[in-house]
Amino acid sequence: MSCFVQGGNVHANQIRQHYLRYGGKGRPLLLIPGITSPAITWGFVAERLGQHFDVYVLDARGRGLSSAGADLDYGTDTCADDIIAFAEALKLQNYALVGHSMGARFVLRAATRHPTSSISHLVLIDPPVSGPGRREYPGKLPWYVDSIRQAERGMDAEAMLAFCPTWTEAQRALRAEWLHTCYEPAILRAHRDFHEVDIHQDFPKNRVPTLLMIAGKGGVITPQDEAEIRQLQPSIQTVWVPDGGHMIPWDDLEGFFGAFGTFLGPSID
C-alpha cells in the first residue's frame, strides 16, 4: 500500500519549490535527488523511507515542477540555500537531509552555510568529489545533454535504453516521461560546479552527524577519496554498497537501504 500523501508547492528563497510527500508522520526527512532526477523518479525510494519518516522529496530548481528559467541562479550555494528556505517555509524541525550525487553536495553545503539550522543528520549518497585541481567527474556532459534534448522532442522507454541499459522498463519509462523538465542551463551549471566548486572545504566545517554512502561500482569515490574525507571530518561514518553503481537504489535497492543501518534511528526494512 502506498504511503504517498500529496504533492505541493511552496514559495521559498524567492522561487516555487515543488515537493512530493510520503509517510506524513514521524521525524522529517528531506531527500534531494541528483543532477537530472526529478522528485518523482525517487518515489520508489521515498515509499520505503516513508514507512519510518515524514519524507519530502524536492525538485531542485530547474528540474521537475520547481521554478526554472534564464533569470535564475543555479549555483551550488543558491541551491543549498533553497533547501534551508524550504524547511523554514514548512516550519520543519530536527530534520534529516539525504542527498544523492549533486543533491549530496547541496545538503553538505546547506549544513555549513547554515550552521544554526535545525538539521539533525546528513546522508551523502555518492557525491561527486571532483573539484579544482582534482580528477574529472566520470559522468560526461554529453550523456546528460543528449538525453535531455531527445526527451524534449519526445522519448519512450525503448529510446532511454541507450542511456540507462541496466534499468527496468518502468524505470526507463518514468525517466523518459520526466527528463524534459530538466532545464539544460541548470544542468550545465551543476556539472560545471562539480569541477569548479570544492566541497572538500565543507567537511572540516560540518558539525552535523554525517553518513557517507559510497557506490562500490560507481567510480565516483575511491578508497583514497574516502580516506581524505575521513581525515577532513574524522567523525564521519562511511559505508560501501559493493553492488551499487552511482545510481545505487536502481542497482541494489536492498543494499542501499541496508547501508543506512541505524544511523537515522530505525533500520529501514
Per-residue pLDDT reduced to its tens digit, 46-66: 999 999 999 999 999 999 999
Residue 243 counted as domain residue: yes
The whole-number pLDDT of residue 116 equals 85
Nearest alpha-carbon partner for 167 in 102, 71, 245: 245
Residue 150 counted as domain residue: no
d(CA 12, CA 128): 26
Half-sphere exposure in the Cβ direction for 55 (13 Å, CA): 27
What is the CATH number for 24?
3.40.50.1820
State pLDDT tens for residues 101-147: 999 999 999 999 999 889 999 999 999 999 999 999 999 999 999 99
Task: State residue 242 phi and psi, 5-degree precision.
Answer: -60, -35
Is 269 a residue whose pLDDT tops 90? no
Residue 141 counted as domain residue: no
Element (H, E) at 4: strand 4-12
d(CA 85, CA 81): 6
Residue 235 near residue 147, CB atoms below 8 Å: no
Q: What's the DSSP call for residue 40?
A: G
Strands laid side by side in the 95-100 sheet: 4-12, 15-22, 54-58, 28-32, 95-100, 119-125, 210-215, 237-241
Residue 183 counted as domain residue: no
Cell 510527500 sits on residue: 21
Residue 217 near residue 243, CB atoms below 8 Å: yes
The whole-number pLDDT of residue 266 equals 84
Question: Once rounded to an integer, what is the mean pLDDT over residues 22-35?
Answer: 97
Q: How confident is the model at residue 204 (pLDDT cuts 50, 70, 90)?
A: very high
15-22 and 28-32: which strand pairing? unpaired
Maximum distance among all alpha carbons in the chain?
48
Share of the chain above pLDDT 70, in %: 100
Is 212 a residue whose pLDDT tops 90? yes
Three cell numbers written together for 254: 536492498
Residue 81 counted as domain residue: yes
State pLDDT tens for residues 220-267: 999 999 999 999 999 999 999 999 999 999 999 999 999 999 999 988
Residue 156 counted as domain residue: no
Share of the chain above pLDDT 90, in %: 97
Residue 169 counted as domain residue: no
Domain of residue 117, residue span: 4-134+197-260
Residue 165 counted as domain residue: no
The whole-number pLDDT of residue 26 equals 94
The whole-number pLDDT of residue 164 equals 97
Residue 197 near residue 105, CB atoms below 8 Å: yes
State pLDDT tens for residues 144-201: 999 999 999 999 999 999 999 999 999 999 999 999 999 999 999 999 999 999 999 9
Q: How many domains does the chain have?
A: 1
Element (H, E) at 119: strand 119-125
